[in-house]
Chains A and B, each alone.
Chain A
Amino acid sequence: MTTEANNSDPRVSEAYRSSATETTPPELDETILKMAASSAPRRYGLTQGWLRPLAWAATIGLSLAFILEISQYQNVTVLSDPIPEKVEQRVTSDNTAVAPEDADVVSRKLNKHTGASSAAKALPPRAEKAAPTAMDSAPQRQSFASDGASLVTESEEQVRMRASEARLTASPAEKKALAEHCDDDARTTAESWYACVEDLKAKGLNDAARKELDALLIEFPDFREPDMDR
Chain B
Amino acid sequence: MAANARTITNGATTLCSEPVLAYIPAMVHTPKDSALMLRYKDGDVAAFEILYRRHKDAIYRYLLRLCGHRDAAEDIFQEVWGKIVNARESYRPTAKFTTFLYRVAHNCFIDHIRRNKRHSNNTALDPEFHSDPGETLEISTERSLARERLILALKTLPEEQRDAFLLHEEGGLSFDQIAIVTGCNRETAKSRLRYAVKKLRRAIDEPAEQS
Indicate, yes or no, whether A interacts with B.
yes
Residue of B whose beta carbon sits closest to that of A2: B190
- A4 vs B56: C-alpha distance in the bound complex, in angstroms? 25
Please tell me which one of the listed residues A15, A25, A33 contacts residue B150 in the complex, with CB atoms under 8 A apart.
A15
Residues on A lying within 8 angstroms of B by beta carbon are 2, 4-5, 7-25, 28-29, 31-33, 35-37, 39-43
Q: Are A14 and B169 in contact (CB under 8 A)?
A: no
Cβ–Cβ < 8 Å partners of B197 in chain A: 7-9, 12
Residue of B whose beta carbon sits closest to that of A41: B43
Residue of B whose beta carbon sits closest to that of A16: B169
B11 → A minimal CB distance (Å): 15
What are 12 residue pairs bridging A and B, where the CB atoms are less than 8 Å apart in the complex? Answer: A5-B15, A12-B204, A16-B169, A19-B129, A20-B2, A21-B128, A24-B56, A33-B45, A33-B48, A39-B86, A40-B40, A40-B43
- A122 vs B44: C-alpha distance in the bound complex, in angstroms? 56
| Chain B facing A: main interface SS | helix
Q: Are B52 and A32 in contact (CB under 8 A)?
A: yes
Q: A4-B175, A20-B170, A33-B52 are in contact. Are A9 and B201 (CB under 8 A)?
A: yes
B200 an interface residue at 8 Å Cβ cutoff?
A: yes
Q: A9-B200, A12-B150, A35-B82 are in contact. Are A20 and B127 (CB under 8 A)?
A: yes
B44 → A minimal CB distance (Å): 7
- A10 vs B3: C-alpha distance in the bound complex, in angstroms? 12
Of B20-28, B73-81, B96-104, B114-122, the one with at least 4 CB within 8 A of chain A: B73-81
B155 an interface residue at 8 Å Cβ cutoff?
A: no
Q: List 4 additional A-B contacts (Cβ < 8 Å) besides A8-B168, A18-B129, A28-B74.
A: A12-B204, A16-B169, A20-B2, A33-B49
B191 → A minimal CB distance (Å): 9
